[in-house]
Amino acid sequence: MSSELRSSLGPLAGLKVLDLTQFLSGPYATQILGDLGAEVVKVEPPEGDMTRQLPPYFVGADSAYYHCVNRNKRSLAVDLKSEEGSALVRDLAVASDVVVENFRPGVLDRLGLRYADIAANKRSLVWCSISGFGQSGPYRDRPAYDMIVQAMSGGMSLTGEADGHPVRSGIPLGDLAAGMYGVIGLLAALLDARRTGHGRHVDIAMLDCQISMLSYQGAYHLVSGHVPGRQGRGHDSIPTYRAFTCGDGADVVITANTERMWQSLCGVLRRSDLAGDERFVVNEIRFRNRIELWAVIEPIFLTRSSVEWVEALRAAEIPAAVVNTLDRSLSDDQVLYRNMVLDLSSPDQRLRVPGNPVKYVGESEIAHRFPPGLGTDEDEVLSTLLGFSAEKIGTLRRTGIIGPRRDRTERPASAGSRGVAK
């Protein structure tokens, strides 16, 4: 980004967020808040967020998985199963503006952390619950993970080749969408709380989010009764919105979705005759005859490399791109210019992770904090938020109410890992 941009604390500077989340959907939501300047305190069990131990790649004591969704946070390890630990977290919730949790419904209630009870001591508190199926309904108590809701929503049935098996999206859409919708819901509730003084309990279900994201495919079924199948390489309405394999073995996607683009595509393919072919004259007719159209186009793409095709297509103002592998996408000039690969460092570690997509014109991003080690911020958090003395914090630590309960030794850098201990 330009060095002339003014520095920023982020639009959520001063917002206090208590993060009671683990794994992916909840930590992704709270990381978004931290990226925007909020003060996020992550409360973990004494053993830590389970993703700290997920193989195959580690930076220091913690996994690359953990590091990718936990920057800009402070960590506090608390034994929530003890009365003292539960009371401590209740105090932290009252001292916060927002609580985000992704436990199964009822779990926090049993631990004495019920929204209604805590909100009675702070009416403006916004509480966001992210779960598989929400706080109500016949599936309320079922556990759920990303692939479960991808499968149940029908989204997985749309993914994969037409003659193949359903395929899970390579991006964990079930988790990430729930995190994003959670942020949308809690920010809206915060705006209303600033106006009325009353917070809300935001109820985000991963399955709900995936159903919403069925978008036009869901509408097509509800209007027609037709059950769409796997989409493969293309689009269910536009036959020239599709991937094609090129002579170098790489795939190129083209999105020739207007009549002008179709005519230009015919010129780039050196088959201007196709534009006047009665089988392909307009999109509705092309769609009916798409199998015949692909049979004509596919061999042509095999005659040149992917780079040559992309250059020719873009010159004709037809949007096109090579289907990148991650090594190419994460080193792309546009991606790097937009600061979408972050360099994070601590006194003894460094790593690179995907960045924050929310930009503000004329402002630089906040200075990102390295993801915290387990329980490393206990003294700072408890003294600042709750006014605890060093003696009281020491007592909590000695009695096991706070503090890690597992070895935090560093691991050797994993093979192929570029995020390593210094």
Closest CA to 127 of 29, 213, 200: 200
Task: Let me know whether 247 and 353 are in one domain.
Answer: no
Q: Give residue 422's pLDDT.
A: 44
- In angstroms, rounded to a whole number, what is the distance separating the alpha carbons of residues 147 and 76? 30
Same domain flag for 65 and 119: yes
Same domain, 304 and 377: no
For residue 11, tell me if it sits in a domain.
Answer: no
Give me the CATH number covering residue 393.
3.40.50.10540
Query: Is 166 found in the same domain as 87?
Result: yes
Domain of residue 132: give its range: 16-213+342-398
Q: How far apart are the first and last CA of the chain?
A: 26
Q: Are residues 128 and 185 in the same domain?
A: yes
- pLDDT at residue 3, rounded to an integer: 43
In a domain, 7, yes or no: no
Q: Which two tokens stand for residue 32?
A: 């978004």
In 3D space, the residue among 70, 62, 55 whose CA is nearest the CA of residue 23 turns out to be 70
Alpha-carbon span 89 to 110, nearest angstrom: 14
pLDDT value, residue 8: 76
Q: Is residue 117 part of a domain?
A: yes
**Model-wide pTM > 0.85:** yes
In a shared domain, residues 145 and 266 = no
Choose among 406, 399, 336: nearest CA to 61. Answer: 406
Pairwise CA distance, residues 114 & 137, whole Å = 19
Is residue 289 domain-shared with residue 188, that is, in the same domain? no
Q: Residue 221: inside a domain, yes or no? A: no
Active-site choice (19, 35, 146, 175): 175
* pLDDT, tens digit (0-9, with 9 covering 90-100), for 396-413: 999 999 999 866 566 655
Within this chain, do residues 46 and 186 fall inside the same structural domain, yes or no? yes
Q: Is 175 a catalytic residue?
A: yes
| 18-32 confidence digits (pLDDT tens) | 999 999 999 999 999
CA distances for 230 relative to 132, 164, 221, 269, 324, angstroms: 24, 8, 14, 28, 22
Predicted pLDDT at 236:
86
Q: How many structural domains are present in the chain?
A: 2
- Check residue 78 and give its pLDDT: 98
Residues 318 and 352 in one domain: no
Query: For the domain that residue 245 is a member of, what is the CATH number?
Result: 3.30.1540.10
Q: Which residues of the chain have pLDDT under 50?
A: 1-3, 415-416, 421-422
